[in-house]
């Protein structure tokens, strides 16, 4: 009887703890009416499904759930098992979706040396696409405390140091989906004015992207043994993947086996790894809070036409250094993300900018110091109080970058009326559309070249040439050659050779377009349009981290200065 009473108390405690955890996750994500669940069929994910079902029943105002089951097609019987898991979800009144991974681009699966990383990328992309179709912005996954310990051990083996040992984050944008519109930090465009908190004027009409899908982990504080006990008590079925028991199948399997044994020294066992994670995470939170406070108090002007940023650090740190090196690195990354083309900016690679922010060296008044990091040119000037003023702009691309950063938006043989939104140079989302027959064989986006302007000016009349020069005045000097150009390709029959001729038709960030092209005038939240031509285009700036509800003053520079 005493044992049964203890089990009931443990069960009640787990349910209460989970509902508190999920309520916090749900409200911080905007209390949306629909949440996604990533369900593998294992004991941890089936516990997650059951606990979410209970949460949904607790109040009519709580969300509904869709469960996504990924069939990796890597082992015999995976499809049958996926549909059995789907049936289990139906019994919990959770609508299931089975997602089958497509390996056709990779040849024989057995010969892939990086099978695990490819499977991870395909899995997240399948989940991201499925959530976008369902209008889901939060996907719950069943990572628990033991997964946290495994991750920290793997990072120790990978020679991670410092903040790299913090473990798995409770919430983060979905990985492996950069450039997928509506999935990664995009899909909910807003005006620049929405970033401004102190009433600054904002004339630029280029929208800024926001939204996308976040991964949420409400079970990180729960041990697997606790979740297993819950499933036993509730009579919940789960499915064991036999490959998880093969300690040689992946490095994670090997680590999982070691952590489950008594072969490791006490310093590397789960309790000590959890403690290490807690210590590192607490230290990182303090550094993040300090960096965010300085970021929030800085005066930041970002010109979306050119991607240039001007930053003045707050007076409060004008005469003192940022003593926390980690906070300085986090702050440096926040600034760089305003205009960097880099997908992944590592803190340990930012020493040049960290040195300027921490004021390790004093600058003479009016003397410019400079460095280049993450594809960004950085100029720094100090005033008499050593207050730093920064100017950031995209570095001129190399020849290799110019080749890599061009992609096709549209081909004549396509039946599509418009392209997908595509992320160009990790800075601008670009789209083209048409309403009739296309006179071009192909339309692509690439970096603007000097020869493009010479050819364009030669083919324009005086009035059109003035409009082009006016648009270019916003991007003086060589910085204009770090901007995108939409290029139309025609087949020229001169000489009977059928040569392809490229012609710039749009400079999207500068607002210029050739005759026959028009900006798509739809606004965020407003479906009205004004279209008079057959060729359409639009551009939006990538997601920008807000400065904070109280101090934020990121502003878009006006159209004319």
**What stretch(es) of the chain map to CATH 3.30.465?**
298-396
At 257, list the tokens: 């086996």
Helix, strand, coil % over all residues of the chain, rounded to 5: 40, 20, 40
Q: What is the mean pLDDT of each run of 10 residues along the chain (561 residues)?
A: 56 91 90 96 97 92 96 93 97 98 90 90 98 98 88 76 80 97 96 55 75 96 93 93 66 68 72 80 90 93 94 76 85 97 93 83 73 96 83 96 92 73 97 79 94 92 93 94 95 66 94 91 48 82 80 50 33
298-396, CATH topology level: 3.30.465
Q: Give the helix/strand (H/E) hosting 329.
A: helix 325-336
Quick one: pLDDT at residue 139?
98
Cα 81 from Cα 373, distance rounded (Å): 48
Quick one: pLDDT at residue 551?
42
Quick one: pLDDT at residue 83?
97
CA 343-346-351 angle, 5° bins: 130
**What stretch(es) of the chain map to CATH 3.40.50.620?**
2-145+217-251
Residue pair 490/439 in contact by the 8 Å Cβ criterion:
yes
Cα 215 from Cα 26, distance rounded (Å): 12
Buried b or exposed e, range 226-253, using 16+ CB within 10 angstroms: bbebbbeeeebebbebeeeeeeeeeeeb
Superfamily of domain 2-145+217-251: HUPs (3.40.50.620)
Half-sphere exposure of 178 (CA within 13 A, CB side): 11
């Amino acid at each position: 009887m005493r044992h049964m009473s203890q089990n009931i108390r443990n069960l009640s405690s787990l349910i209460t703890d989970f509902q508190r955890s999920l309520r916090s996750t749900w409200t911080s994500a905007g209390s949306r009416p629909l949440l996604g669940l990533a369900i593998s069929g294992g004991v941890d994910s089936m516990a997650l499904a059951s606990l979410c079902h209970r949460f949904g029943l607790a109040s009519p105002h709580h969300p509904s759930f869709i469960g996504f089951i990924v069939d990796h097609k890597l082992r015999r019987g995976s499809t049958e098992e996926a549909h059995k898991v789907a049936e289990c979800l139906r019994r919990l009144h959770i609508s299931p979706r089975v997602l089958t991974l497509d390996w056709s681009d990779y040849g024989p699966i057995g010969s892939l040396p990086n099978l695990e990383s490819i499977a991870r990328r395909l899995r997240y992309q399948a989940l991201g696409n499925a959530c976008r179709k369902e209008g889901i912005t939060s996907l719950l996954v069943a990572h628990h405390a033991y997964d946290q310990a495994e991750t920290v051990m793997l990072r120790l083996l990978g020679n991670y140091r410092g903040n790299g040992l913090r473990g798995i984050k409770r919430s983060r944008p979905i990985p492996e989906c950069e450039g997928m519109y509506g999935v990664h930090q995009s899909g909910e465009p807003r005006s620049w004015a929405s970033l401004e908190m102190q009433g600054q004027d904002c004339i630029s009409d280029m929208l800024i992207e926001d939204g996308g899908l976040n991964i949420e982990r409400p079970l990180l504080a729960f041990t697997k043994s606790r979740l297993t006990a819950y499933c036993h008590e509730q009579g919940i079925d789960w499915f064991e993947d036999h490959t998880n028991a093969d300690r040689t199948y992946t490095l994670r399997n090997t680590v999982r086996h070691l952590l489950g044994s008594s072969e490791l020294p006490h310093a590397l066992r789960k309790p000590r790894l959890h403690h290490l994670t807690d210590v590192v995470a607490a230290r990182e939170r303090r550094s993040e809070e300090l960096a965010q406070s300085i970021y929030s108090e800085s005066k930041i002007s970002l010109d979306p036409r050119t991607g240039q940023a001007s930053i003045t650090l707050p007076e409060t740190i004008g005469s003192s250094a940022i003593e926390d090196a980690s906070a300085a690195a986090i702050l440096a990354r926040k600034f760089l993300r305003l205009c960097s083309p880099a997908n992944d900016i590592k803190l340990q690679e930012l020493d040049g900018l960290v040195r300027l922010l921490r004021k390790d060296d004093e600058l003479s008044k009016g003397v410019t110091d400079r460095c280049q990091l993450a594809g960004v040119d950085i100029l720094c000037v100090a005033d008499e109080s050593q207050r730093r003023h920064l100017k950031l702009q995209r570095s001129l691309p190399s020849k290799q970058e110019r080749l890599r950063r061009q992609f096709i938006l549209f081909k004549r043989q396509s039946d599509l009326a418009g392209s997908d939104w595509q992320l160009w140079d990790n800075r601008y989302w670009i789209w083209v559309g048409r309403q009739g027959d296309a006179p071009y064989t192909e339309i692509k986006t690439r970096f603007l070249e000097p020869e493009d302007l010479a050819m364009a000016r030669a083919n324009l009349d005086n009035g059109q040439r003035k409009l082009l020069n006016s648009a270019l005045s916003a991007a003086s000097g060589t910085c204009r050659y770090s901007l995108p150009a939409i290029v139309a390709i025609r087949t020229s029959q001169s000489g009977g050779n059928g040569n392809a001729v490229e012609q710039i038709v749009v400079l999207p960030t500068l607002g210029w377009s050739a005759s026959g092209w028009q900006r798509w005038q739809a606004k965020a939240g407003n479906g009205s349009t004004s279209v008079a031509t057959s060729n359409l285009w639009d551009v939006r700036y990538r997601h920008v981290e807000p400065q904070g509800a109280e101090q934020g003053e990121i502003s878009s520079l006006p159209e004319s200065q």
